[in-house]
Amino acid sequence: MKKGVYSILKARFLVNEDATKNWRFIVFLILLAILMIANEHRYDQKIFRIAELTNEVKELRSEFVDKRSELMKLKMESTVSERMKERNIFPSSVPPQKIKIKKPVEKTFFQKLWQ
């Protein structure tokens, strides 16, 4: 057992006759480890990007709510009338009336023929 531990510590398995099998396996393990590290790195980048986009969506949603409430205040009749007073335009005291236009009735072919 003592001899087996010393041979592992001295890395004799890398220099003896069948070392090519060992080297291939070690290279395979190294490539697999690099692939796993790269995959984990991309995964972390995506998580950070998702968190960043989530924060941006929250900010844009709050900005949208603020602008919508500001627009509602600007559209109110009292706000519009206050702004128009500066230009000497006042609200009408007479309520608006609906104008109805009667469509002329088209005569049929027989009515045009008998005229």
Query: How remote is the C-alpha of 109 from its chain's centroid?
Result: 62
- If DSSP codes are grouped into helix, strand and coil, which group holds residue 59? helix
37 or 112, which is more confident? 37
Segment 78-98, tens digit of pLDDT: 888 888 888 888 888 888 889
Does 107 reside within a domain?
Answer: no
Does 10 reside within a domain?
Answer: yes
Q: Tell me, what's the pLDDT at 10? A: 67
Does 44 reside within a domain?
Answer: yes
One DSSP character per residue, 24-87 reads: HHHHHHHHHHHHHHHHHHHHHHHHHHHHHHHHHHHHHHHHHHHHHHHHHHHHSHHHHHHHHHTT
Does 8 reside within a domain?
Answer: yes
For the record, the structure tokens of 110 come out as 């027989």
Q: Provide the residue range defining the domain that includes 16.
A: 2-90
pLDDT above 80: residue 6: no
**Tokens 């335009």 sit at which residue?**
89
Does 100 reside within a domain?
Answer: no
Does 31 reside within a domain?
Answer: yes
Does 42 reside within a domain?
Answer: yes
Does 114 reside within a domain?
Answer: no
**How many structural domains is the chain composed of?**
1
Q: Tell me, what's the pLDDT at 5? A: 72
